[in-house]
Structure 1
Amino acid sequence: MEKWFVLIRDKITGWLEIFFRMLPNLLLAILVFISFFLLARFLRKFSYRLLLRVSEKPAISGLFSSIFFIIILFVGLFISLQLLHLDKTITSLLAGAGIIGLALGFAFQDLTANFISGVFIIFRKPFDVGNIIDTNGFTGIVEEIQLRSTTIRTFQGLHIMLPNKDIFQKPITNYSLSGKRRIDVVLTIPGKSNVAETERRINKALDEIPEVNNDKFQVLFADYNGDTIKMEVHCWTDNLIEMGFYNTRDKVLRKIHEAITQPEPNH
């Protein structure tokens, strides 16, 4: 019994000696960790405000400021562990973090790609909420831009959630940037037609449509094969919304049809 008592006493004495010997380093490690924690909190708030000015997106600002906070906190933790001579613990933590990161990277490849694409979309701003865009075969108004996906409300009333990876990798047409949409009409007339007279009639017809910008339309001689003449008409309208655009296009087609079906004047 006495032998067990001596053994326990020696063990506790040894632990106390190690504790008191490590006490200065322990206090310093705690002080360093607290300092890094306070620094991380300050930089998180500062980076959030700074990023919010750049991106104007609370979600992405909060995400990156939290990442900064975690990185600084981990740096403080590693320095604190080094002061306690726990180098092996640091190595194990780094190895574990690497393995976990690799596993998560393989498991969430699409999620990561969508997230990174969302970051680029938010910072590069090829479009914003309220813009009318065409991408991936869908045309509509941008309702919401998130880190993973973008929501578009089509002119048929459908809400489409598109993965940001698909949007980032495919062409995007942003009608709201120019404020105008182009109406293209291809028409064929007999080869013996008076091209100058046809052009004059089409120009006059387009001038009568208030929704068409009368300083920005073109009537072009596109092709001639002997029997027929192909002409192209390009005009612009401020009607970006689909219903207004289609109504304007309908007026353009009706006016052009009316103009070219009139009998040519006899000379």
Structure 2
Amino acid sequence: MFNDFNLNDSIRGIWDKMGSWLDSLILNLPNFVLAAIIFVIFIFIAKYAAKLVDKLLRKKGSQDSIRQISTKVVKIVIILLGFFVALGLLNLDKVLTSVLAGAGVVGLAIGLALQGTLSNTFSGVILSFLPELQIGDWVETNGYAGEVIEINLRNIVVKESDNNYVMIPNSKIVEEPFKNFTRTARSRVMVNCGVGYSSDLEFVQKLTTETMQSIFPQRGNEEVEFMYGEFGDSSINFVVRFWTDATRNRDLLMAKNKAIIAIKKAFDNNGINIPFPIRTIDFTNKLSINEPQKEN
């Protein structure tokens, strides 16, 4: 009897509890419906707001990485706002507090597990808004050189001169130095050469300087600089430096190629020798290997 009485009380308690939940659900049903509608509305708002931001950034000529990050941030912020508004309509303040606390713990765990990925993501955000690195720039970094094709939240894509693509993690770009050829319209080119010891050094200097000035006009405070550097094994070596238009490595190579051809022609026309290393073998000493030995 006692067990039956306890069982009946337990069943009655369960039904009473379920009845109270049902009553609460019926009473709060309008709030549930309204919260769901509000959340769906915020999702649509986030979708169209992201498209609007993307369209505005396209008109301003912003690069793909900036548009990608901006649209995602706008979408996430609006959806989270709708989520919090929906919870507020349901009077779930305690649930909201628990959700935020749980999100903090989960976020910490994910952050520890994905340190490298998050590092690349934050580095991608930095690179997206960095004016010194833009899509289309020609850069040298981490042992690679090429044109920046894409900047995303994970890596930058560089197209090298051999037409191959290299993906470099964003954190590597932020931590390591990089050289950007495109940020400066003019660059200085250096050409090394040497002349024979019998050459008129002052005439060589004048001829080389005038030749470079005629091919590469200098602007403003720019000038062609000529300096002898050393007494080499077979020549007196010098370096000539001049400024030219260059926004990528190929421009520098073409300028150096043009300068070398011009210097060689100028030296040939004026009888100036560009020596190359030679080896002289002296046969003045007579060897007795093949001579017959004299008998004593």
| TM-score between the two structures when normalised by the length of structure 1 | 0.72
Aligned position for 1:234:
241
Q: 1:154 to 1:63 in 2, by over 3 A?
A: closer
Does structure 1 conserve the Cα–Cα contact (< 8 Å) formed by 2:151 and 2:157? yes
**Higher helix fraction: Structure 1 or Structure 2?**
1
Letter of the structure 1 residue corresponding to residue 254 of structure 2: G
Figure out how many residues of one structure are paired with residues of the other and give that number.
259
Does structure 2 conserve the Cα–Cα contact (< 8 Å) formed by 1:222 and 1:231? yes
Distance 1:133 1:256 in 2: 34
Distance 2:138 2:127 in 1: 15
Computing the radius of gyration over CA atoms, which structure comes out larger, 1 or 2?
2
Within the alignment, does 1:118 sit opposite 2:124 as a pair?
A: yes
Tell me which of 237, 262, 266 is aligned to 2:272: 262
After TM superposition, the structure 1 = structure 2 runs for residues 22-33 of structure 1, keeping only pairs within 5 Å, are 22-23=28-29, 25-33=31-39
Distance 1:168 1:178 in 2: 20
The answer for unaligned runs of 5 or more in structure 1 is none
Query: C-alpha offsets along residues 38-65 of structure 1, whole Å, 9 cap, x if unaligned?
Result: 4433422322323434563446424432
TM-superposed CA distance for 1:77, in Å, is 1.9
Distance 2:147 2:115 in 1: 28
Aligned position for 1:248:
258
Tell me which of 71, 81, 85 is aligned to 1:79: 85
Aligned position for 1:90:
96
Q: 1:85 to 1:162 in 2, by over 3 A?
A: same
SS for the counterpart of 1:162 is: strand
Q: 1:151 to 1:205 in 2, by over 3 A?
A: same
Higher deviation after alignment, 250-259 or 121-130 = 250-259
SS for the counterpart of 2:167 is: strand
Distance 1:108 1:189 in 2: 60
Distance 1:160 1:260 in 2: 47
Aligned position for 2:212:
206
SS for the counterpart of 1:85 is: coil
Higher deviation after alignment, 14-23 or 87-96 = 14-23
Aligned position for 1:144:
150
Aligned position for 1:40:
46
Distance 1:111 1:256 in 2: 57
Query: C-alpha offsets along residues 72-105 of structure 1, whole Å, 9 cap, x if unaligned?
Result: 2222222322332323322222122112221222
Within the alignment, does 1:153 sit opposite 2:163 as a pair?
A: no
Distance 2:245 2:65 in 1: 33
Letter of the structure 1 residue corresponding to residue 210 of structure 2: K
Higher deviation after alignment, 30-39 or 114-123 = 30-39
SS for the counterpart of 1:124 is: coil
TM-superposed CA distance for 1:184, in Å, is 1.1
Q: 1:141 to 1:250 in 2, by over 3 A?
A: farther
CA-atom RMSD in angstroms: 4.0
Q: 1:50 to 1:102 in 2, by over 3 A?
A: farther
Distance 2:169 2:132 in 1: 15
Does structure 2 conserve the Cα–Cα contact (< 8 Å) formed by 1:151 and 1:162? yes
TM-superposed CA distance for 1:231, in Å, is 5.1
| TM-score between the two structures when normalised by the length of structure 2 | 0.66
Aligned position for 1:219:
225
Distance 1:118 1:97 in 2: 24
Aligned position for 1:173:
179
TM-superposed CA distance for 1:234, in Å, is 0.7
